[in-house]
Structures are given as C-alpha cells and as structure tokens.
Amino acid sequence: MSTLGDILTINLTTRQITRLPIGEDVARQYMGGRGLNVWQMQQQANLDVDPFGPDNELLLSNGLLTGTVAPSSSRVQLAARSPQTGFLGTSNVGGHFGAALRRVGVQMVRVIGQSPAPVYLWIDGEKTEILDASSVWGLDVPAAVDAVKARHPDHPDLHFFGIGVGGENKVRFAAVIADDGHAAGRTGLGAVMGAKNLKAFVVPATPGSRSNNAELSDLAKDYAREIRASERYDIYSTYSNGVYLRETNDLGLLGTRNFQQVQFEKTDQ
C-alpha cells in the first residue's frame, strides 16, 4: 500500500486481480474522485464502448480527504459510460463505505470485463476475492446486506456498496446503494454493475484512519468552527436544502410527480 493509496484492478472475465500504488504525479494532477476517474477513462484506447459491454470500465475513486477527520469528506465518486447517454456517467455517494475502502489502502477500484455469473467483490486488507453471489442475486439491497453478513459471521460490521433488482435487470436509471441508504443515483451506473453481473463491493470494517494526526485534526477543527460561525449556518443546519423550496417552486424548477410538472401546489403547507 502506498501513502496515497492503491489502484485495485479486477477483471471479471479472466478473474485476474492486480493492485498497484497510484503515482504521486497522477495524484497531484488529478487529485482523486472524479478527476482520477476521468483520467483513467482517458487511458481507454477504444472510444466506441457499449455501456452494457465488457469493455466498459466501472471506476470507483475516493477523494483525497476520504477516510480522514475532515468534515464532509467521506465521499466516493463512481464513473463509467452511462447507459442513458453513451457518454461519461458519474455519480457521487456518501456514507461510511469510502472511508472503509481507504482504511484498507485502496484509492481507486477498476472493474473491467464481465462475469458469466453473479459475483460480489470482497476487499479485505491486501486480499481481494471474487465471490459467488447467486444466493443474493434477486434480493433488494437491505436483504442482500443481511445475506452477505450471514455468510461472513466473523465480520458482523461490514460496508456494502451494491445494487438491487433494478440494477440486476439493467434498468437505465438504477442506483448503487451504500450501506444504509446512501445512493449513487445519477446516470444509471447500477445498470452497468448489473450488466457485469456484479452485485456489490463489500469491505469489512477495520479500525484506523489514513491521516488522523494532530495537525490535520487541528485544521479540521478550525474548518468546523468557520462553518458554525458562517452567516447561514443556523438556517441550513435546521432546514438543509429545504430553505430554497419556495424559491425553487416559484422559478418552476421543482420537479413534481416524477418531473411531469415543474411546480408543486402545496409548498406553502
């Protein structure tokens, strides 16, 4: 494992798994998250890729601060060719999965190829396995999480990032769900996982953090103090994005009834 984290590449067709450190020059130029994913997609020689085909790389990358004490930093960026557009599809998700992935030293996961049967990826420290998912295929995410936990009784606390029945059936707006309901819901990347017969990424919980040092802790505390002292902290912490509900509705930007309408008549209630 490098300090910056490793790139874990899994070929579902050949079942070959490789793990190499990310270069510092790449990390400095593209940083992580979406930038790192786009950099990796640019390395693909074939630009004519079927989103549901084996050549469509599925990329999952942490941000540089994921797994640290920095506020709001536990984010993961997912990317592939979108089945909705055929172009770059990207989605972002929160929760604890990204931090768990970073604690086992992984900065990026590349999934290439296509499995002939349902599988899930078990990423435990330096060891990664492609495991049979036939018993969890056809389950929604909560049921699949329970089934995977039952299969790994030595790891009752694990982190799951996977698809439900919609993704399995390549529904083009299928999301990928992390843990207890965080969703990478944009651009239909759950369908890409379904096309690969990939049910989930699973990481057992491990203690520790990448950069939980005194200097970073002090910086994080300063940042948190600035957030709390900001002019709109009280209203945002109370209402979140709901602050702009009426304004959004007045502008005709409030998607209503599955975006059949752009305003909702009961926003004042």
Instruction: Determine if the pTM surpasses 0.85.
Output: yes
> What residue segments make up the domains of the chain, in order of their start?
6-204, 230-269
pLDDT band of residue 1 (cuts 50, 70, 90) is very low
Q: How many CB atoms within 10 Å of residue 170?
A: 18
pLDDT confidence tier of residue 88, bands split at 50, 70 and 90: very high
Decide: 20 and 6 in contact? Cβ < 8 Å. yes
Taking 80 as the threshold, does the pLDDT of residue 235 lie above it?
yes
pLDDT in tens, 68-78: 888 888 899 99
What pLDDT is recorded for position 203? Answer: 97
CA distance to 125, 130, 138, 202, per residue, from 118 (Å): 23, 10, 10, 14
- Predicted confidence at residue 100, as pLDDT, reads 93
Could you tell me what percent of the chain has a pLDDT over 90? 67
**Cβ-contact 191, 167 below 8 angstroms:** yes
User: HEC string of the chain?
Assistant: CCCCCEEEEEECCCCEEEEEECCHHHHHHHCCHHHHHHHHHHCCCCCCCCCCCCCCCEEEEECCCCCCCCCCCCCEEEEEECCCCCCEEEEEECCCHHHHHHHCCEEEEEEECCCCCCEEEEEECCEEEEEECCCCCCCCHHHHHHHHHHHCCCCCCEEEEECCHHHHCCCCCCCEEECCCEEECCCCHHHHHHHCCEEEEEEECCCCCCCCCHHHHHHHHHHHHHHHHCCCHHHHHHHHHHHHHHHHHHCCCCCECCCCECCCCCCCC
User: pLDDT over 70 for what percent of the chain?
Assistant: 96
Could you tell me which CATH number the domain at 6-204 has? 3.60.9.10
Q: How confident is the model at residue 180 (pLDDT cuts 50, 70, 90)?
A: confident
Give residue 149's pLDDT.
96
Contact predicate 18/30, CB 8 Å:
no
